[in-house]
A = this chain, B = another copy of it.
Amino acid sequence: MIDNIAQSPLYRIVNPRSIAFLGGSNNYASMGTSILSSLLHMGFPGPVYPVHPREKTVQGLAAYARVEDLPEVPDLAVMVLPTRITVQALDACGKKGIKNVIVVTAGFREVGGEGPALEAELLAAAHCHGIRFIGPNCIGVANPHQKLNTTFMPSRAIPGFVGLASQSGSFVTQMFDYLAMYGMGFSTAFSVGNAADTDLVDCLEYLGACPRTRVIGLYVEGIPRGREFVRLAREISLKKPICALYVGGSEAGRRATLSHTGTLAGPDRLYSGLFRQAGVIRARNVTELFDFCWALGSQPPPGGDRVVIHTHSGGPGAAAADACGRAGLAVTPLSPETLEKLAPLVPHTASVNNPVDVTFSKNPQDYFDKLPEILLSDPEKDMLLSYWLVPDQVALRPLKGMGLSEEEAAEKSLEWVDAMTRQVAGVLKASGKPALGFTFRDLSERFCRGLIELGVPVYPGPERAVRALWSLVEHRRLADKIRASDGAF
């Protein structure tokens, strides 16, 4: 394990000060042009040097006919070239003295035929010049903190705390907006492609040392260097959580990954065992992978597996309780002390048997501060799961009923919603316990959006929130096990 990202072979690949770009042009139907566009769109602050055999300028930048013509030796070269000229281009970079390359170009090992031989040539050329590269057949990297995005989708790519290493480029380039819906962003994301030179294990090592990464996500079609992976992941998982999605375990998944990155996947159970041993939390699908990252990167570790459910609606409460039961989390009754504290706040139709279902309440404000505060203070409860139902128009009717005009009522209603948002976030964060929410509302609505912006996850539906709570418990369990084994691995 490294202490500092500067020790990683990937350091200058994700933290370059200057970039040569091979394969961008002024033809917007080409992938190279799209990627160069993304890079410029993000506002990468260092110099970018397009290399193009004929064009004098590319996307408004002065272009150079050959790599050897570049005015300096850039930290990084990005290549989006036809397959047949890639080795030759890498060689030209080497001669110039460039030491870090991203090879986006596909058509190597993953296509069979002459592909594997061509990939071996690429690797040989890199070794000859002391070049470290990522790819080929990848989509590159994103480091939004450095305004670096070598992937092809136009996006905000907001900086965040999720470190991703992926054997699929799509799960880097196509997930910026997805993460933004949940108020998340990448700290750094790697698409390793065929991983000819640097692989998932190198990325894991980098992310383990990266101070901006609070949680690591892995999209896995096949683990390379199993022994090193496990050793490294065990060490890192004691510092920050790692979760992984493995898709090669089913027969259909295995065939798909083989033609995708040429990876030979292994049996599902073998991978489950390997992840467990490595302290890695296994997600069952893409949605879970990022759901887990959301909770693991934003919540304190739980003291145990006991959940208290906070709702004003029976059905959502029962569905949440059932989801907890299925996830192996405990939903046990409240302590007598807590019941006593709740008594003055809930009507006779309420049920406080956990789920704490206050039903229709005459003082809705209590739901947002007093109730979660009391529930979180119960020493026999480790985590809170709250049901949130606050449509934008929620306070409109009563306010209009009080005689306010449409505009006044709308304004007051939003003020009330914002005040409740701050109340909730304050109470939850002060508790020091994990506290997640769920809703069936659109997450872009003001209340849920407000909570999300304040760092309180609100999941669509109870099951996703419950599985995210499970990931917190699982992380703790796995880490405890590694600590208990005293390094006896």
Contact = CB atoms under 8 A, between A and B. Distances in A.
Interface in A21-35: 26-29, 31, 33-34
B253 A325 contact: yes
A359 B106 contact: yes
A256 B355 contact: yes
A485 interface: no
A303 interface: no
A212 B244 CA distance: 44
A167 B460 CA distance: 21
A314 B360 contact: no
A357 B324 CA distance: 37
Copies in the complex: 2
Nearest to A26: B401
Interface string A365-409: 000000000000000000000000101010011111110000000
Given A28-B402, A154-B393, A247 B321 contact: yes
Nearest to A396: B154
Given A169-B315, A252-B331, A321-B255, A362 B29 contact: yes
Interface string A193-221: 00000000000000000000000000101
Contact of A250 (B27, B110, B171, B322): B322
Among A153, A322, A359, the most chain B Cβ lie within 10 Å of the Cβ of A322
Interface residues of A, number: 92
Interface in A81-128: 106-107, 110-111
A464 B469 CA distance: 20
A253 B322 contact: yes
Given A322-B247, A322-B248, A397-B37, A461 B286 contact: yes
Contacts of A178: 440-441
A317 interface: yes
A391 B318 contact: no
Interface stretch (A3-11, A69-77, A257-265, A472-480): A257-265
A177 B255 contact: no
Contacts of A143: none
Interface in A255-283: 255-257, 259-261
A319 interface: yes
A250 B326 contact: yes
Contacts of A338: none
A216 to B, nearest CB: 17
Nearest to A466: B285
Nearest to A445: B177
B170 A260 contact: no
A315 B171 contact: yes
A10 to B, nearest CB: 20
A57 interface: no
A263 to B, nearest CB: 10
A345 interface: no
Interface in A160-192: 166-171, 174-175, 177-178, 181
Interface stretch (A46-54, A346-354, A416-424, A428-436): A346-354
A248 to B, nearest CB: 7
A110 B348 CA distance: 11
A366 B213 CA distance: 40
A353 B259 contact: yes
Q: Which 9 residue pairs of A and B lie closest in terms of their CB atoms, listed nearest first?
A: A168-B315, A250-B325, A253-B322, A28-B401, A28-B398, A252-B325, A256-B321, A260-B314, A170-B313
Given A28-B399, A250-B322, A252-B321, 7 more contacts: A29-B398, A168-B318, A174-B316, A175-B440, A245-B319, A256-B322, A256-B355
